[in-house]
Amino acid sequence: MSTDPQSQLQFKIASEDWEFEQIHQLNYRTFVEEIPQHHASPERRLVDKFHAENTYIICLSGRRLAGMMCVRAKRPFSLDQKLPNLDSYLPPGRTPCEIRLLAVEKEFRSGYVFQGLMATMARYCVEHGLNLALISGTTRQQKLYRHMGFVPFGPLVGSGEALYQPMYLTQEAFEEHIAEFRTAANHQGPPPICLLPGPVGVLPEVSRAFKQAPESHRSEMFEADVRITKRLLRGLTQAAHAQLLLGTGTLANDAIAAQLSLDGRSGLILANGEFGERLVDHARRFGLKFEVVESPWGAAFDLAVVQSRLHRDPVPAWLWFVHCETSTGVLNDLDALKALCAARNVRLCADCISSIGAVPVDLRGVSLASCVSSKALGAYPGLAIVFHQNDIAPSPRLPRYLDVGVYAAGRGVPYSHSSNLVLALKAALKARDWPARFAELRETSAWLRARLCEAGCDLIGSDAGLCPAVTTWALPKEMSAARVGSELERAGFLLSWRSEYLRRRNWIQISLMGAWTRRDLERLVNSVQQLC
């Protein structure tokens, strides 16, 4: 076990009583005993005069405070009292804040803690619209401050052994130095728990497979790996054929749209969320003829309406929909749509990007379906997967890269490929007991949703019609999803909230598509309860 005190560092916003107590003690040791700015006291603790208005960025080594600084945006600043006409020294048109009380325990003064505190502070400032940071920099560390982008201004302040140079750091200057800040902030700290819909946390065996030496896409070994991976995919989904393309789910859906463009007849697209609306965009870009049946976000399709449309003349030649609508978590009824389409001889196409690996998916009777290597399959992003029911021949009317028939005719590897991504996907498919995985997701999702509801969270949709791998939390107007998501990120949880469609609705999503433990989710619920 490492004895390096910097081997386990965590940077966060102070929130616990024991953290604040250690802040007062470190404040005393630094600004009374080491730098004589204040008078000694028998309690050996110093509560800052602006304590109630401070936001403390701290570095922890276990449960010990290794370093700290605080951010305060309320005027007057302490520099206002020391430097008359402070604004005349500053760049105009900025929203400033003051950074104070920088203190680092002596055994942590190698630079990592300071830079990590700076990175965390800068992220906090950007999220809160603060684009100019002011400090009183000790004269002993001027070279370091200048190296990190700080600009000195005005005369020295303070007295005796406690002399300081006023300095400011713009957001632009910080961004020029962000790489070294970020490296320090992430220095050997505990990795965050990834609860994103993609990229997802991967199992150790998937990571090991990915790190193997790359192979030629023309080698017999690679062709064998592709065959095995495709066989595993077909076994998981009951699909007749599977093709692996280098790309994302967007590419897989473009490949489906390309195939539909060969049909020439009109189709029907169902949309009840962001990704259903994207299918409409895919179809328009390929010049497809189609109608749209829309349902509200978070609501299931009205199957009676769909059936009525399929019985009108002309009967649509194809129907395209999203199985798991990731933007809300709604799981649309694949089996019911298969039955409706089979009754009218309509070609069914499905976006299964978020459902395969999260729930049992039977693609028998589905003409075309899209998927990806990441998300619920638990591998790395980079492979687009297209399933098809019937044999597909190459078409000179399609772009080569989007022609599924070219992949089928070329034994699955017509162009350069990535053995690393294929090996990782193969390892992910083999690592799971999929029936057990589906049962675990159902049970854990029900438990998580119940706990979040107890914490006062407003969740989208009813349990019966939802994918267990996606939980969508609608925040009240007075709580910003961006701020709550950022706070949870600082607590060690990566959740989905940055997508524009989530920001517009003030939603946060918790995804169980990757690797996690029940203990991780217990910690998440506790963090959510504290924030609420």
Sequential DSSP letters for 468-530 = TTEEEEE--TTS-HHHHHHHHHHTTEE-B--SHHHHHHTEEEEE-SS---HHHHHHHHHHHHH
pLDDT digit string, tens, across residues 14-50: 989 999 999 999 999 999 998 888 889 999 999 999 9
Contact 394, 406 (CB under 8 A): yes
Nearest to 484 by CA among 449, 520, 528: 528
| Range 204-431: architecture per CATH | 3-Layer(aba) Sandwich (3.40)
Q: Where are the domains of the chain?
A: 9-190, 204-431, 434-531
Rounded to whole angstroms, how far apart are CA atoms 228 and 232?
Answer: 6
258-277: b or e for each residue (b if 16 or more CB lie within 10 Å)? bbbbeeeeebbbbbbbbbbb
Rounded to whole angstroms, how far apart are CA atoms 371 and 236?
Answer: 12
**Location of structure tokens 């008359």:** 84
| Range 9-190: architecture per CATH | 3-Layer(aba) Sandwich (3.40)
* Sheet hosting strand 241-246, strand order edge to edge: 241-246, 383-388, 368-372, 347-351, 318-322, 267-271, 290-294
Query: Is residue 188 over pLDDT 60?
Result: no
Looking at the whole model, is its pTM more than 0.95?
no
Nearest to 257 by CA among 375, 363, 391, 368: 368
CATH number of 434-531: 3.90.1150.10
Contact 225, 349 (CB under 8 A): no
User: In Å, what is the CA distance from 160 to each residue of 20, 39, 369?
Assistant: 29, 14, 74
Least confident range from 27-36, 366-375, 377-386: namely: 27-36
Query: Is residue 237 over pLDDT 80?
Result: yes
Contact 248, 372 (CB under 8 A): yes
The two domains 9-190 and 434-531 share their CATH topology (first three levels equal) = no
Mean pLDDT of 492-518: 94
Query: Is residue 368 over pLDDT 80?
Result: yes
* Average pLDDT value for the chain: 91
Q: What pLDDT, on a 0 to 100 scale, did the predictor assign at position 190?
A: 59
**CB within 8 Å of 440: residues ≥ 6 apart:** none
Query: Is residue 531 over pLDDT 90?
Result: no
267-271 and 290-294 beta bridge pairing: parallel
Query: Is residue 387 over pLDDT 80?
Result: yes
Mean pLDDT of 459-485: 90
Q: What pLDDT, on a 0 to 100 scale, did the predictor assign at position 428?
A: 97
Least confident range from 170-179, 406-415, 456-465: namely: 170-179
Higher pLDDT residue, 164 or 367?
Answer: 367
pLDDT digit string, tens, across residues 103-130: 999 888 766 788 788 888 888 888 888 9
Q: What pLDDT, on a 0 to 100 scale, did the predictor assign at position 429?
A: 97
Which of helix, strand or coil describes residue 108? helix
Least confident range from 191-205, 345-359, 384-398, 498-512: namely: 191-205
Rounded to whole angstroms, how far apart are CA atoms 80 and 222?
Answer: 67
What are the tokens at 510?
Answer: 């918790």
Rounded to whole angstroms, how far apart are CA atoms 222 and 83?
Answer: 69
Query: Is residue 160 over pLDDT 80?
Result: no
* Residues β-bridged to residue 359: 356
Confidence of residue 158 (pLDDT cuts 50, 70, 90): confident
Report CA 12 to chain centroid distance, whole Å. Answer: 18
Taking the alpha carbons at both ends of the chain, their separation in whole angstroms is 37
Q: What pLDDT, on a 0 to 100 scale, did the predictor assign at position 483?
A: 86
